[in-house]
Each structure stands twice: as structure tokens, then as C-alpha cells.
Amino acid sequence: MKTEYISGLPVDNLTEETLRQDLPVYITSGRKMMVTSVNPQISLQVERYPQVKAYIERATHRLPDGVGIVKMSKYLGGTIRKRVTGIDVMDMMLRYADEQGHRIFLYGAKKEIVKKAAKNIAKDYPNLVVAGYLHGFTTREPEKIVDKINAANPTFLFVALGSPKQELFLEAQVDNLNASVFLDVGGTFDVLSG
Ligand code: UDP
């Protein structure tokens, strides 16, 4: 997997297939797999929130999430030719979790949205376990949120708080969370709740 730098941010030349192959490698080794998205919108947040850049830099997989990134790569002489979106990666991860019977946790979006998304996922992927979910407007302390997620013991944690909230949460808490695979997915729960 080759890393390129676009507007000062690392982006990985990867595909859904290489990500899928990496899942069991990380899950069995106990090393955390942190998958995040790089797009022009994020590059605007980075100046104001250095922790967002810190999270992108420590992430193990940085998705070229959007045609803007593909165009920039081409322009800069890079090799990224296809975008890989957070929502497609979440679909792939749900299929994998279903095949393997893994536990997942959903954190983010409005209360009724995340509940409906959890219900739809449980129906569409009957072999995975929705170990828990939590809406993204809770006033709980971050430590309490971490405790709730860890108590559910998920392998996959999907965080949909929008940017920069999701990157800030993960940068601050990823070391305290016991999940194996982390994906921040913006407005994806809204889509999955439909
Ligand atoms: N969201 C949340 N908590 C917040 C702010 C936003 O859970 O404090 C959720 C919001 O309900 C939506 C998701 O984050 O489901 C993505 O929001 P938005 O579309 O603004 O972010 P983007 O996809 O543009 O990053």
C-alpha cells in the first residue's frame, strides 16, 4: 500500500479488496485497524483542529474518499485512480462481520436514526451481532461513552459524528477503546436508517 501526500495529508492507494484482506490480519493480531477518510472537506478542518491531522497520521488506512482526491493525485503525479468511500467500506465491513459472526457497535447520529440503522443492519446481516449503539448527541462524559462501548465488546466500531467530531473523538479515545476495527463514517447511519 503506497502512501501519497495531498495538501499535506497522507492518503493511501488502496482498494476495498486490500482493506478486506487486511481485516483478519488486524483482528487476529490484536493491532488496531483505524480506517479514516481523506477528502477536501477534511483538509479544511485540519488547520483549525490539529488533532484531526494527528488522527489521520496515526490511522492505518486513509481512504481516498472522493473524486477531488483522485484528481489531486493525478495532478501531483501520484497513482491513485479510484475513490474508495466510507459508505462502501462500511458495507464491505458489515458483509465481513456477517460472514464471521463478529460484534459491531454504532456510535453517532440522532437517537431514532441510529436505532433504526441498528435495526436495519440486524435484519440485513442476521449472522453479525449488533452489540450496542449510542446516539451522537449524548451529554455523557467521553469516559462513560468509552465504558459503554467497551462493555459491549465489539470487534467493529463505526463512528458517525460528522467531521471533525468523529476524528476528535477517535484521536482522544482510540487507545482506551477495546475494539479491533475503527471506521468513521460521517452521515452513513442516516443512509442506513432509510
Ligand atoms: N452528528 C452527531 N453528533 C453531533 C453532530 C452530528 O451524531 O454532534 C451526526 C449527524 O446526526 C449525522 C452525522 O453526524 O448523522 C454526519 O453529520 P454531517 O452530515 O454534518 O457530517 P458529514 O457527513 O458532512 O461529515
- In the reported structure, the alpha carbon of residue 29 is separated from the centroid of ligand 1 by a whole-number distance in angstroms of 32
Task: Evaluate whether residue 72 is within a structural domain.
Answer: no
- In the reported structure, the alpha carbon of residue 1 is separated from the centroid of ligand 1 by a whole-number distance in angstroms of 30
Task: Evaluate whether residue 70 is within a structural domain.
Answer: no
Please identify, by atom number, the ligand 1 atom nearest to the C-alpha of residue 113. Answer: 15
ipTM: 0.93
Task: Evaluate whether residue 52 is within a structural domain.
Answer: yes
Q: What is the 3-state secondary structure (H, E, C) of 121-151?
A: HHHHCCCCEEEEEECCCCCCCHHHHHHHHHH
- Give the rounded percent of residues in the chain with a pLDDT score beyond 70: 100
With a 6 A CB cut-off, is 66 part of the ligand 1 pocket? no
Q: In this structure, what C-alpha cell is assigned to residue 103?
A: 460484534
pLDDT for 40 beyond 90: no
- What is the reported pTM? 0.97
Domain span holding position 129: 16-36+47-63+84-192
Task: Evaluate whether residue 73 is within a structural domain.
Answer: no
Residue 43's pLDDT band, with cuts at 50, 70 and 90, is confident
Average pLDDT over residues 136-147: 96
Which run of H or E residues covers position 30?
Answer: none
Structural domain tally of the chain?
1
Please identify, by atom number, the ligand 1 atom nearest to the C-alpha of residue 161. Answer: 14
- In the reported structure, the alpha carbon of residue 102 is separated from the centroid of ligand 1 by a whole-number distance in angstroms of 26
Encode burial over 50-79: b for 16+ CB neighbours within 10 A, e otherwise: ebbbebbeebbbbbbbbebbbebbeeeebe
Q: What angle do CA 176, 181, 186 make, to 5 degrees?
A: 95
CATH number for the domain that contains residue 116: 3.40.50
- In the reported structure, the alpha carbon of residue 36 is separated from the centroid of ligand 1 by a whole-number distance in angstroms of 15
Task: Evaluate whether residue 119 is within a structural domain.
Answer: yes
HSE, side-chain direction, 13 A CA sphere, residue 25: 8
Provide Rg for the chain, Cα atoms.
16
Please identify, by atom number, the ligand 1 atom nearest to the C-alpha of residue 114. Answer: 15
